[in-house]
Each structure stands twice: as C-alpha cells, then as structure tokens.
Amino acid sequence: MGKRLGLLSVLLIGALVAGCSSSSDNDSAANRAPESKSQAVSNEAAAASAHDQRASTPSDMFFQDYGTNPYVSAEDDRLSTFAMDVDTGSYTLARSYIKDGNVPPQEAIRLEEFVNYFDLNDAPPKNDTFAIHVDAGPSPFGEAGTQLVRIGIKGKEIESEARKRANLTFVIDVSGSMDEDNRIGLVKRSLELLVNQLKPNDRIGIVVYGSTARTVLQPTAVEDEGAILAAIDDLQIEGSTNAEAGLLLGYKMASKFNDEDAINRVILCSDGVANIGETGPEGILRTIEDYAAKNLYLSTFGFGMDNYNDVLMEQLADKGDGAYAYIDDMDEAKKIFQEQLTETLQTIAKDAKIQVEFDPAQVKGYRLLGYENRAIADEDFRNNKVDGGEVGAGHSVTALYELQLKSDAAKPWGKVTIRYKDVDDNNRSRESSASIGPSDKLSDATLFIAAVAEFAKIMKDSEGVGESRLQNVLQTAEKHASSERQEEFGELVKTFMDIRG
C-alpha cells in the first residue's frame, strides 16, 4: 500500500493556504493540486433536471483529495500499516449535501470516516485496553472471488462515575461567517446539551475569536451551571476570523489550568475559515503538536455549509491528537454532545497504529479501503517517535480490506497487530494480535458496513456508476441494518439515487 509521503506536510501547507483563498482548481489524481475547491458536483445536469427545486450547490467548500489506495501484491509488500482514526466528519458532510439535493464532491469522501460513523456493537475487551474482532468471507460487492475482511477494534469502556474529571476549554468562532442559525445558533444549542451531560466537578472555559480573541468564561465548575449557560447564551457575532489567535488563547487557558489527574481538552467549534492572522498551518500546527505532547488534546467540530474548510478542521484534529466531527443539525448534535462525547473523553491509548501482515502463500493481492491520509511507513510501526492515533474510552475503529486469494489458499490468510501507548500504564507500549481467516459467514454488521463502504466508493468515483450497483448497496443495507441510524442510511441511499435521476 502507499506509505505516508514526506511531501504530505508540504501539500498540507499548500492546501490550507489555498483553503483561505478565493479560488483553486482540480487536477488529476496523479498530479492533483494540494487542494480543490468544490463549485460543481458530478452529474449536475441530470440532478438538476430531476430536482428543479433543490437547494443551490454549496460554494467555497474546501476539501483535500488524498487519492484511493490501489491493490497491492502481497509478494511485493505483505505489510499494510496505518494510524487508527475515529473521525466521522466526511460522512456527515456528505449526508448534508445529499439531504440538500446535491451530489457530494468526490474529494469530500474519506471512506474510513463513513464506516467509523456507525457503531457495529463489537464487544469491549474483558481485561485489556482493546478487543480485536475479525470477520472475513466473500464480498457482497466487487469482482467474483473477492474476499472482504473487517477488522473491528473496540476500546475498553469506562463508566461515567469512574471517568476522570474533565477540563474542557471551548474555542468558539464568532466571526461574521458564523452568523447563521445552523452555525452559531447550533453551537449554542450543542454546548447546552453538553453541559447537561457533564459531572458537577467538570470545568468549562470559553474563548471566542473574531478579529481578535478574548476570554468570555474562565474555567468554571459545572455545578455553577447558570454562569456557564449565561456565557453561552451571550455569545455574539463580531469581526473577521483570526483562528490562530483563538486557538493560542484557548491553549493558554487550558495550559494554565492543566491538571495531570484530569482530562484536559481544547474543543474548537468553527466553520474552519481563517482570513486574518496566521491563515496557513505552519505556526498553528507546530504549536498544536507541542501542546498535544503535554496531553492537551484538540478536538474539532465543524458547523455550516457554504464557505467551509474541511481540510483545516480535519488536520487540526489530526495534529492535535483529537477527533473531528461535523454537526449539521440537532440530531447530530445530540449524537455527539449528548450521547458520545462525555463517554469517550478519556483517552485510553496514544499513538495507536494498526499493521496487517498478509501471507503471500495465501493472498495474491489486497487493498485497504480508506485511511489514505493515515498511512504510516511499515518500518515505523514500532517507532515510538512516529505519531499514531489517539483513542478514547469506548471508541470503535473499523478497517476493511478487499483480498484476492490464490487458488490453493488455506487459512489463516495473515494477522493483524495493534500497537499503542497504554495511558493507564505510564504510556508503556503494548501490542495485541489476531489472525485473519474466513468466518463461517459474514455477520450482519460486516455486510451492512460493506454497503456503507461501497456507497462511499461509488461517490468517490461516480462516473459510469449504474443503477444496479446502487440498488445492490440499498438492498444489502436494508437487509442487514440493526439500528435506527443504520436504517436512516438506507433512506440516504434512496435520496442519492433520486438526485442522480
């Protein structure tokens, strides 16, 4: 598989600087620009004729195209290595496009964020930090003979009563671009939901930024709920967008009140736009990495369509050792701020990496679905200086592979190993492994998530996609869905099919 290129940091710098400008062009996958600005969607004419009354296509949306992992010969490279990732922003952004009657731009699709959006109810470990679940068998999609492997990694769960006290510093964008109900209004309602989920001894501090940054709430215990809610309610729109100033002031506050016995996290709520101060990533990202090394993690939550920078929001969370999610409505706000955030706040593993080794005697070729911008050089799997992913309590991580087996293949086909620093054991490095081989039959969870991955693949390369391929996705998803959110995915596929006409 493709390894993380040393050029990535250069491309990222170009991408983020372009993301703050007013124009950018799309290149081919082989020689693409660092960033593409989506002003049109594929099949626009067909979609327009089918939906004359649809919402206008979002403009000034900035995404990064990381390409698509190719099939790799197991004889040439038996190892596949990447960082764990728990982001979900790409799925929710794509869903917003579809709900508004638009086909998402191809560069907005990150397949791993589609599959990691859904909870597949894998069992947590009994006595360890992680449980590894492997399911493998004939793929319901693709060429005949293709095998699908699902690797499900479930982090240990921590009961609310046992969770460490949380110090949360919110950095909130109150610039002019946030002056909409689905931006600053949704931010306020989201934070109100969160306050109701926190424990009395948790603390919240709030920094805002427009043209400049300022403190609106010093870290305050949640038992003083009235003061916190009043500060949230009083948030007002002001000025241009100095994201650098906001983040630096937020980190300064978080650092001042940093407590080694607590969860210390900075949380950015923004549309990702930066137009004054340091608009590029160089200084900002270095600062964020320095703070992350001190266990001050950054999570990012995106709000708003039109004039939205997905690249900046996703990469800030990556460098800040946190998670990136996109909030498009109150249902998603409840999912993130009411149901998930407080449960997963406590980090259980740092620099978590996955390495899959395929047996060339059994496997002809393989392809990792997604994780293109999480690739790690194979030789760096056990290099503790190379950053991996940070995983919170109860988090699930899903990885999918497509395999082509040799004609005389026998099991096992290979093994998966995870390596991480155990936060509860002084960051000591630990490893766990599991073999990969055929199951009696693929589970409903694997078949459902295979449909989600296929849907992402279709949108990533939508030219020439026939109706039958989408019908297969829909039928598989509807047959194997086991929750309300999974059933909603089927409705999303139907809406996408209507848009395409």
What is the rounded CA–CA span in Å between residue 253 and residue 385?
27
CATH classification (class only), 130-158+348-436: mainly beta
What is the rounded CA–CA span in Å between residue 381 and residue 368?
17
- Give the helix/strand (H/E) hosting 399: strand 396-405
Local confidence pLDDT in tens for the 501 residues of the chain: 434 333 333 333 333 434 333 333 333 333 333 344 343 333 333 333 334 434 588 889 999 999 999 999 999 999 999 999 999 999 999 999 999 999 999 999 999 999 999 999 999 999 999 999 999 999 999 888 999 999 999 999 999 889 999 999 999 999 999 999 999 999 999 999 999 999 999 999 999 999 999 999 999 999 999 999 999 999 999 988 888 899 999 999 999 999 989 999 999 999 998 776 555 556 567 778 778 778 889 999 999 998 899 999 999 999 888 999 999 999 999 999 998 999 999 999 999 999 999 999 999 999 999 999 999 999 999 999 999 999 999 999 999 999 999 999 998 999 999 999 999 999 999 999 999 999 999 999 999 999 999 999 999 986 567 789 999 999 999 999 999 999 999 999 999 999 987
What is the rounded CA–CA span in Å between residue 447 and residue 452?
9
What is the rounded CA–CA span in Å between residue 164 and residue 162?
6
Give CA 205 to chain center in angstroms: 25
- Give the helix/strand (H/E) hosting 491: helix 484-500
| Helical axes 484-500 vs 467-480, angle rounded to 10° | 170
Q: The dihedral of CA 50, 52, 58, 59: what is its sign?
A: positive
CATH classification (class only), 160-345: alpha beta
Asked whether the bond before 412 is cis by omega within 30 degrees of 0, the reply is yes
* Partner residues linked to 397 by β-bridges: 153
Q: The dihedral of CA 183, 243, 112, 90: what is its sign?
A: positive
- Three-state SS at 438: coil
Which part of the chain is CATH 3.40.50.410? 160-345
Which part of the chain is CATH 2.60.40.1230? 130-158+348-436
Which distant-in-sequence residues (6+ apart) come within 8 Å of 402 by Cβ? 71, 139, 142, 146, 147, 148, 149, 366, 367, 369
**Residue 491 vs residues 22, 54, 453, 455: alpha-carbon distances, Å:** 35, 17, 16, 13
**Residue 282 vs residues 15, 42, 301: alpha-carbon distances, Å:** 12, 33, 21
In DSSP notation, 225-240 reads HHHHHHHHHT----SS
Cβ-based neighbour number of residue 148 at 10 Å: 23
Query: Residue 329: which of 93, 154, 129 has the closest Cα?
Result: 93
- Three-state SS at 266: strand
Contact 321, 292 (CB under 8 A): yes
What is the rounded CA–CA span in Å between residue 157 and residue 163?
10
Instruction: Note the residue count of the chain.
Output: 501
Q: The dihedral of CA 436, 440, 443, 449: what is its sign?
A: positive
